[in-house]
Structure 1
Amino acid sequence: MSYKVIVDSCGELTPEMKNSGKIFTAPLILNVGGHLVVDDETFDQADFLERVAKCSECPKSSCPSPESYMKAFQGEAERVYVVTLSAELSGSYNSAVLGKNLFLEEYGEKDIYVFNSRSASVGETLIAKKIMECEEQGMTFQEVIDAVETYIDGQNTYFVLESLETLRKNGRLTGLKALAASVLNIKPVMGATKQGIIIQHGQARGINKALVKMVDRVVEEIVQPEEKILGIAHCNCPARAELVKEMLQKRIPLKEVIVLDTRGVSSMYANDGGVIIAV
């Protein structure tokens, strides 16, 4: 059976995924002080970060429209899977579900399933990889759905950012108590609940200590690491990402570690210097 996977552009893609012919992107649109940036293969991270640094307004994003998802569902693939940002953080999931319903109404039956990642960034990457793995094993459509939903249930996301301002100003930190004062260089260690809501795990003085605390948290919570692929996404800080990778590999026997630079949406929220882990 032929298939394709559509990942909204908060999810990073590995070179293998880009070359597979199976993975496609549904781009979000970023708005920096009225300048619109399409989060697709034309995204220029350096230019984007420079614009954000110079702009007094907080950057914003808008999710793919139901019509753009509808268009992505067309083609010869008999099975279509979608992986979106956490429904608690973006309208992308609801937009994809609406697009699916409109597509089925207009064109009739087709196997389409929308996964709410309950994560973001490299969390979406790992979910897309899992879908491909299940498909290559010859699973039925329903077996793929069940296996991937189980995988999502067991996935955890963690992150440490230089600044949480973009998340805060765009209302993505609802329910959190007052965050530590930036004047003291306190960096929170953040994560996501099983529902995909952002929470604070802890904090540390300075980014390096916060990264160590994040690694501690991963090591503490991971189950059967030798069977797990761990993903690290970084915003313009490859050395920092490699440091995190080394710390993790010294402490737990991981099956594989993927390190990727953030795409547009993740760059907007992570800001320059942010590091995200999913496993």
Structure 2
Amino acid sequence: MSYRIIGDSCTDLPKELKENEHFRLVPLTLIVEEEQIRDDETFDQKMFLSKVKASPHSPKSACPSPEDYMKEFDYDGDIYVITLSSNLSGSYNSAQLAKNLYLEEHPDKNIEVIDSRSASVAQTLIAMKIKELIEGGTPFDKVVEKIHTFRDNIKTKFVLESLETLRKNGRLTGLQAIIASALNIKPVMGATPEGTIYKLDQARGIVKALITMAKQIEQDVLKPHERILGISHCNNYERALFVKEEILKRVPFKDCFIVDTAGVSSLYANEGGIITAY
């Protein structure tokens, strides 16, 4: 089985997959004020969060170049690339351009670029499913077909501790953010089928918001005994454990894993944020 699964650095992998020879991550660049921070193994989450908190401006991200992706294509095997939602980043377009350029010189190469239409652990679930299909003997064309169907059925929900990043990047007016902060209102967010972000619900206080999210997962999950629950947290493992307990006492998922957010996911989630996908 000769294959490589390439994720952009918004793919929050568990340690065992980071160390798996079949997996590669292509880093985005995070920008706080004028400083550029590479989202790779050198990323310092606590330092990044402190810089974001101190800055009056919204942090930004820059997607990998086509050349960054093409470097990972020089491999004797099938290539699968997973990117964060094309509605949130140019990473997908960059990877697609890299594929087209590479195939001009290597027309017989099998390369598939998958727009996750989500982020973080949703990308991880796609990567894990690709691995499962390949190791089950599924040929390239069938993997491509099955993984797009799998992607279309993933649901992503998340709860933010702070609305500050949304305020800074213009998704909320300053007044909305101030009122929400004063009333301790925490939004429960989700991803649309197209990969955009929208508000599902809200609650007063982080605990109530997390429980609200767990109840919503219970209501809309299909065939949970066939699904894996992914949970990523931004610098709050205890909160992730609480979410895991609240969800699993309601829903019999086949399996569950918890990971800490890398750079891009930390940018979106902000400190204390929790992201779920299933």
Q: TM-score, normalised by structure 2?
A: 0.95
| Total equivalences in the alignment | 274
Alignment correspondent of 1:22:
22
* Moved segments of 4+, more than 4 Å: none
- 1:200-222 deviations in Å (ceiling 9; x for gaps): 11110111111011101111000
Match of 1:182 in 2: 181
Give the AA of the match of 2:40.
Answer: D
Find the counterpart in structure 2 of residue 63 from structure 1. 63
- Displacement, 1:227? 1.1
Q: Distance in 2 between matches of 1:19 and 1:26?
A: 15
The residue aligned with 2:74 is 74
Question: Is the deviation greater in 269-278 or in 67-76?
Answer: 67-76
* Conserved 8 A contact 2:9-2:26: yes
C-alpha separation in 1, matches of 2:243 and 2:15: 21
- Superposed displacement of residue 239, structure 1: 0.6
CA apart distance, 1:252: 1.3
Q: Does structure 1 retain, via aligned residues, the 8 Å contact 2:231–2:258?
A: yes
1:13 alignment counterpart: 13
Measure the CA separation in 2 of the matches of 1:267 and 1:92. Answer: 17
Q: Distance in 2 between matches of 1:12 and 1:168?
A: 25
Distance between the aligned counterparts of 2:251 and 2:180, measured in 1? Answer: 33
Deviation at 1:254, TM superposition (A): 1.1
Whole-Å Cα distance in 2 between the matches of residues 142 and 184 of structure 1? 52
Q: Which amino acid aligns with 1:14?
A: P
In 2, the alpha carbon distance for the partners of 1:235 and 1:15 equals: 16
Amino acid corresponding to residue 241 of structure 1 in structure 2: A
Separation (CA, whole Å) in 2 of partners of 1:73 and 1:169: 37
Write the distance in 1 (CA, Å) between the matches of 2:166 and 2:68.
Answer: 26
Q: How big is each residue's C-alpha offset from its partner over 1:163-201, in whole Å with a ceiling of 9 and x where there is no partner?
A: 233245446x59xxx677322111111001111111111
Summarize the alignment of residues 1-279 of structure 1 with structure 2, pairs less than 5 Å apart: 1-76=1-76, 78-170=77-169, 173=171, 181-279=180-278
Structure 1 residues 31-69: Cα deviation after superposition (integer angstroms, max 9, x where no partner): 111111110111111111111122222211001111111
- How far apart, in 1, do the equivalents of 2:59 and 2:270 lie? 11
Cα 1:19–1:150 change in 2 (3 A) is same
- Stretches of structure 1 that go unaligned for 5 or more consecutive residues are none
Q: Percent identity?
A: 53
User: Partners of 1:60 and 1:275 in 2: how far apart?
Assistant: 20
Distance 2:98 2:238 in 1: 40
State the Cα RMSD in Å: 1.5
Q: Measure the CA separation in 2 of the matches of 1:196 and 1:182.
A: 27
SS at match of 1:273: coil
How far the C-alpha of 1:109 sits from its partner, in A, is 2.5
- 1:138 positional shift: 0.8
Deviations 1:224-267 (A, max 9, x none): 11111000000001111000000111111111111000000001
CA distance in 2, matches of 1:110, 1:16: 28
Q: Name the stretch that deviates more: 231-240 or 105-114.
A: 105-114
2:251 maps to a residue whose letter is I
TM-score normalised by L of structure 1: 0.94
Q: Give per-residue Cα distances to partners, 1:93-149, cap 9 Å, x unaligned.
A: 111001100111133331000011011011101110000000101111011111111
SS in 1 for 2:249: helix
Query: What amino acid is the match of 2:3?
Result: Y
Structure 2: distance between partners of 1:12 and 1:276: 11
1:156 CA displacement: 0.1
The runs of 5 or more residues in structure 2 that have no matched partner are: none
Is the contact between residue 56 and residue 168 of structure 2 (CA under 8 Å) also seen in structure 1?
no
- The worse-fitting range, judged by mean Cα deviation, of 42-51 and 113-122 is 42-51
Q: Aligned pair in 2 of structure 1 residues 269, 75: CA closer, same or farther (>3 Å)?
A: same
